[in-house]
A = this chain, B = another copy of it.
Amino acid sequence: MTPGSDITLRDVARASGYSVSTVSRVLSASRPVGAGTARRVREAAERLGYRPNQVARALRSRSTATVGLVLPQITNPFYPTLVRELTHVLDERGRAVLLVDCDDDPDKEAARIEALLARQVDALLVVPVDEHRSRPAVAAAAARVPLVLLDRSCGPGVADLVAVDNAAGMALVLDHLAARGRRRPCYIGADGTASAAAERRAAYEAGVSALTPGEPPLLALGDFSAAWGREAVDRLWDERDRGDRRPPDAVVCGNDLIALGVIQRLRQLGVDVPGQVAVTGFDDVPPADLADPAVTTVRQPVRDIAVEAVRLLERGLDGAGAPVCDGSPQDAAPRSPGTPVARHAVRLAPHLVVRASTVPDTAPAPSGTRHGARSGPAGTPAPRSAVSPTAPLIPNSTKAAQ
């Protein structure tokens, strides 16, 4: 009924008077082909509404042009932006994305990676659930297809990794706070085994001594949630817990969700942000600028992460099917033996986004465009300027009257 439903190469071959292989060569541009031939084949294909069957192509060519994207929890507000960039970059290169969400469960993660491999994905992009417990499944998968880790590591030497430079980001935050005269910072972060948690905490500890020489750093470690941010504030501002210290004048948070919880609770306690306490986040997730005050934070170079990850992936795709480190020239460079080296660990530079949570009197900006957060479930193109005098304000009585 619908044209194009069941037209195969054979049909196009018949209709154009050429052989199946010639038609294949024309349509997949795999080899040089006659001038007029190409035209006539394409014409026939067009006329019949031919659409190549990618499954058949995949079976024969042993390449599905599909990559698996494995996320620990898509509801984490950092990932949607990453997913967008990755799908766009991959789409441009003709690759599709099989998405799986692991519910933060390493067992589900292992099972779903297995399922992706059964579907013959060409490669995997993985944000591992857990630094330790994800390792076996990820390592096994990496032995079968090119695999790039994103955002988090899962032990040394498992696969290439692309992530933000957490240490550099934390340094940006501490420099900023120091420049604004903050002298009694504390850190509210996560305790987990995930690499980002450890890296950010270590970077804080390393950098904070410049601000408070000689004094032990004040750390509160829970998880990467707003709830933990609220709770940590309750403790730090409770004198019994704090001991004899004065309350902090800056709270450095391990991510934006913690910072949002911190700001929320500080305000409930009547603490002025940023007057009494400055607050910083990390990641620059969409809700970070919706808080009041908006959160000063470290923006991850998400686009670059996506581009770099795909580049690494395709490097693995081009080289022999063997994703294993195969002693190629650049890998043969001498290494210190004790260092268990991930094949490549690309660390991309972050960017400090200064907002009202650290800088008072930031003119209540008339708004400002933000990356993903623009349109709603039924979104439409936004008005060009948020203060455009022509946008609709409709005291309405005429239409849709009850």
Contacts and interface: CB of A to CB of B under 8 A. Distances in A.
A363 to B, nearest CB: 10
A367 B227 contact: yes
Interface stretch (A11-19, A213-221, A311-319): A213-221
A191 to B, nearest CB: 6
A223 interface: yes
B234 A387 contact: yes
A224 B392 CA distance: 14
Given A54-B120, A367-B231, A377 B216 contact: no
A80 interface: yes
Interface stretch (A32-40, A98-106, A332-340): A98-106
B235 A393 contact: yes
A55 B382 contact: no
Contacts of A5: 144
A376 B378 CA distance: 27
Contact of A87 (B51, B99, B231): B99
Contacts of A264: 290-292
A392 B260 contact: no
Interface residues of A, number: 138
Contacts of A369: 227
B393 A225 contact: no
A379 interface: yes
A99 B83 contact: yes
A342 interface: no
A236 to B, nearest CB: 8
A156 interface: no
A21 interface: no
Interface string A364-402: 101111111111111111110011000111111101111
16 contacts: A77-B287, A99-B99, A220-B394, A224-B376, A225-B382, A227-B374, A227-B386, A228-B383, A234-B387, A254-B378, A256-B376, A260-B287, A263-B292, A264-B291, A268-B292, A283-B377
The 10 closest A-B pairs by CB, nearest first: A224-B376, A75-B372, A192-B380, A216-B397, A194-B378, A196-B378, A287-B287, A255-B376, A206-B402, A99-B99
